[in-house]
Every structure is written in structure tokens, then in C-alpha cells.
Structure 1
């Protein structure tokens, strides 16, 4: 018996249509676009024709390459309600499709990588220009200050996390499974996630000494907190998580994730992404899950 063929759905067809619009908008050929997102051209062709679904990782890659959000790809607008909170004033689909918009995305990608790998204070404008094959003047045109580059790197972090969560959590209806998946999506394992954590840690350090940066940080971090809170609230409403404690648990859980992530990034002896996951799962088992009543283990003598 042959393998089961993917049955096209209206959602798949709509996503394929939006991706085709993006290719036409930006002048991509299928070959160049498949190379840009790291996908075999035959798979891209099948997806564009509606014979293959774009999995989560491909949706994230498409959104990153074109400046749109995964929410827009899936639903046609950035603020569609999903299982993750929508950013306030960040992670919006770019309306510009001209050469300038693409140049800005290329500069931001280069700056984000450099800041994550080397550190904000060690990255010069000339380094960014060299990394993306342009001039320092072009960098200054799109990002007049080096401080502005760090702010944009933080916004890029928010978009990456938002896209990843929208793509991965949409088909996870069970709140407990969704919370565990949400945690996995934040573990500092793999180059991309470690770079995101590096940016966050640097922003935390800068925010501690630069009050002017705090509003952007609060806005950006708020999205992550609200995503955790949404999941905990859904679980309490479904009778899976303890009731009446969603906000307190969201603060405890996000603080625990932050602290453990910093320890992993600092290579603290005895820490690892796997150990971080185990500690978080233990917290959820003990503090979040609503367990059914158990029989009294005490037995009568005799």
C-alpha cells in the first residue's frame, strides 16, 4: 500500500496563495527562494501547488525571508488570535517590498548574528557592513545609531519567537502539552535559540543601566509573559491546571525559565538544556497540574 497523500485544506490553499503573492511581490524565482529558505525546490513547488503542507519550520523560514509574520501567512493578518500572545507594536508584517526593505532585512540579520555572537559592545558598524556586503553609509541610512541596532535586534528576537510559537502551537489543543511545547521552544539549545538568549541577556544588562531602553524591553517581554499566562489560563479553564493562580504561576514560571536559561548560557557546571527542561517539568508537575484526589495512603493497623 502506498503512503498516504496529504489532503489539501482551505487553510493550506490560502497559505500557498499568500506565499505565491510574496514571491511575485519580491521578484523571487522558485529556485532562488528555495535556496534562501533551505528547502528543496521540488518540495516548494508541491507546497505552492497545494499538494504538500508547509510545516512549522518552513513557515518560520518563509516569514523571516520575506518580512511577514507566520500569523499573516496562516491567517491573513498579524493580530489573529492564536495560542500565543500577539506583540504590541512589534513583529508586524512589513509593507515595503522594494530593494530598500530587503536591504534593511539583510542588514538586521547580519547585525543580529554579530551582536548575539560577539556582544553588542564589540560590534562596529563596519563589521555589520562587511558581513552583509554593503557600506557603513548604508548601515547608517537604515540604522542611524548603533544603539538602535540593539533595539532592532530585540524586536527581531520578538518576531522570531512569535513566528515560531504561532507555527508550532496552532495544532496543540491540550493546554498541558502546549505548555510543555512552549517551554521546549524557549530552551537555549541549538544555534538560533542560543543567539536569541544572548540578545535577551545583553538587553537585560543594558536595561539595568539605561532607563530609556526599559519601555521597549517591557513591551517585548510582556508578549512572552502573556503567552505563558494564556496557556495557564486555558489549562485552568479546562480543569487541567490549578484554578485561580494563573498570574502567580506565570510570574513564577517565567522567572524560573529566565534564571535557568542564564545558567545554561553561562555554562554553569551541572546545567544543560536537558536539565533545564527536567526542572521545569518538575515545577509544572508539582505546582501547575491539577491532580485528582488520591486515596489516603495511611492504613489502619491490624
Structure 2
């Protein structure tokens, strides 16, 4: 029998040796709500799943059924133990500053000051600013993966899941707009990168591949259910991801709006993906 979400969460909590009361208190959730969710009488929210995953030390994807494609080996950070959280603070500071100011306008000293540490500490965790940009992209991919995994897990209908997935790509808000800023800067760096399989270009290719595979998974689920058109689904996934990229650039450069992007994406889904009787 396939293990359900409550079983996965329960098993992850049990591995920590903590009680339900301790876990509930740590993530700011009422113990009764946690117990009901673990019993399958209440749904976990995406934020609750993300908080539990962080507290028990696993990725959100380990708790959820596969509705999104996992990041490849070049994207996973494989970070060493970070007992005092210094590495994460530095990465969060770099991610924020690069998104706000632009990669070429951020100094290591700026990152250190924003993280409340020294330049020497930054260099200890990251050899230089080049490494920081790569880690910022990896951080982007992992954020998107965790967010999508948590948000899509409870959506059985492929059409509703696809629309939610596209909504999670709109460049608006305190998380998604900075993510788009990072992505657009990486596009430029990948274009100028002279290496085809390593460096910026290789990292970007693998990150983009994860997003495309997630879209393809959703389209295949919809086609199998008779909700989406059959045919060349890989082509349709490429079309849809390219449309998201192009429309997102318009929003980020203020030549369009999130509402207009949403309308265009829904129109494409309606006329090019949905199977109509």
C-alpha cells in the first residue's frame, strides 16, 4: 500500500525522537491540529509542511508524493553541517542583496554586513562572489521546489494543479519577485559563460530542466486523466515554460503586469492544453 502524507510526516517526526507536543510548539502549531493532521482528519497547510520539514531536517519533497520533479545533483547544495546557521545567514543575505542591487553591485563586505558577520566568515563558506551567485541560484531552485511540493501535493485535479503551478511562477510578492531577479541575472551570466557543461550555463540548464520536468509531469497526469490533450507533451511543456519566461520578463521590466501574465497563461491552457469535448 502506498504510504500517505500523514504516515510520511509521522515517520519523519519519530526519527527525531521528539514528541508531538515539542514539534507542535517548535513550529507554532496547536498540538490538537497536528494530531488531527497526523490522523488524516485535517490537511496540513503548505507552511506547516515546510516548517515541519525544516525542523526535522528533511526536504519537503521527502514528505510529499511526487508531484514536482526533484532538483538534480548540480543544484543540490550538499552543504556541510551548519550548527550556528552562519552559512544560511550569509546565503540569505547574498540572495537578498543580489536580487535588490544586482550581482555586479554587491560586494562580499556588503554580504558580511547584512549577515552580521565578517568578510573572512563569508570567504570561509564561499570562495568568492562567483560562488555566491551560484549558491543563490541553487537556493532559488530549492525554494521553488519546496514551495511547489507543499502547495501542489493536495491538488488531485491536474487542471487545478497546473493553474496553481503557474500561479507560483508569477513574479510578484516578497519571495517570487526577488527570485525572478536572481533568475534574470543568471540568464545573462549563463549567456556569457564560455563553458557548455560546467559553470553558470550547466547549473542553469539543470535548474531549468527541473522546472520543465515538473510541467511535463503535470501535463502527463492530465493527459492520462483525459483532462489535457494527448500528443507531443514535451513540446507543449517547452512552449509553456518559454511562455512563462517571456511573460515574466515583461512583468519584471514593468512592460506588463502579473494580471496580464496570468490572463495570457490561462488563455494558453484553455486553448492549447485542455481537452474539450
- TM-score of the aligned structures, taking structure 1 as reference length: 0.78
The answer to whether the 8 Å contact 2:46/2:151 transfers is yes
**Which residue is 2:169 aligned to?**
186
Separation in 1 of the partners of 2:70 and 2:203?
A: 15
The answer to whether the 8 Å contact 1:232/1:250 transfers is yes
Aligned with 1:281 (options 262, 266, 271)? 266
Question: Number of paired residues?
Answer: 263
The answer to whether the 8 Å contact 1:83/1:230 transfers is yes
**Which residue is 1:141 aligned to?**
124
Aligned with 2:231 (options 228, 244, 248)? 244
Separation in 1 of the partners of 2:215 and 2:160?
A: 13
Separation in 2 of the partners of 1:29 and 1:173?
A: 28
Separation in 1 of the partners of 2:116 and 2:17?
A: 23
Structure 1 residues 109 and 64, CA, compared in 2 at 3 Å: closer, same or farther?
A: farther
Unmatched tracts of structure 1, length 5 or more: 1-8, 35-40, 76-80, 293-302
Structure 1 residues 159 and 65, CA, compared in 2 at 3 Å: closer, same or farther?
A: farther
The answer to whether the 8 Å contact 1:67/1:105 transfers is no
Q: How does 1:43-122 map to 2 (within 5 A)?
A: 43=29, 45-46=31-32, 50-51=35-36, 54-61=44-51, 63=53, 68-72=58-62, 74=63, 82-89=66-73, 92=76, 96-99=80-83, 102-122=85-105
Structure 1 residues 169 and 201, CA, compared in 2 at 3 Å: closer, same or farther?
A: same
Note the C-alpha offset of 1:13.
5.9
Q: How does 1:228-243 map to 2 (within 5 A)?
A: 228-243=215-230
2:208 is the counterpart of 1:221: yes
Give CA deviations for 1:254-297 in whole Å, capped at 9, x if unaligned: 111000001001111xx2111111110001111111111xxxxx
Note the C-alpha offset of 1:242.
1.4
Note the C-alpha offset of 1:54.
4.0
Query: Which is higher, the Rg of structure 1 or of structure 2?
Result: 1
Separation in 2 of the partners of 1:127 and 1:233?
A: 45
Specify the SS of the correspondent of 2:229: coil
Note the C-alpha offset of 1:83.
1.0
Higher relative contact order (CA 8 A, sep 6+): 2
**Which residue is 1:295 aligned to?**
none
Separation in 1 of the partners of 2:79 and 2:130?
A: 24
**Which residue is 2:143 aligned to?**
160
The answer to whether the 8 Å contact 2:77/2:138 transfers is no
The answer to whether the 8 Å contact 1:225/1:250 transfers is yes
The answer to whether the 8 Å contact 2:77/2:135 transfers is no
Structure 1 residues 252 and 116, CA, compared in 2 at 3 Å: closer, same or farther?
A: same
Structure 1 residues 111 and 150, CA, compared in 2 at 3 Å: closer, same or farther?
A: same
Separation in 1 of the partners of 2:77 and 2:52?
A: 12
Separation in 1 of the partners of 2:266 and 2:17?
A: 42
2:129 is the counterpart of 1:129: no
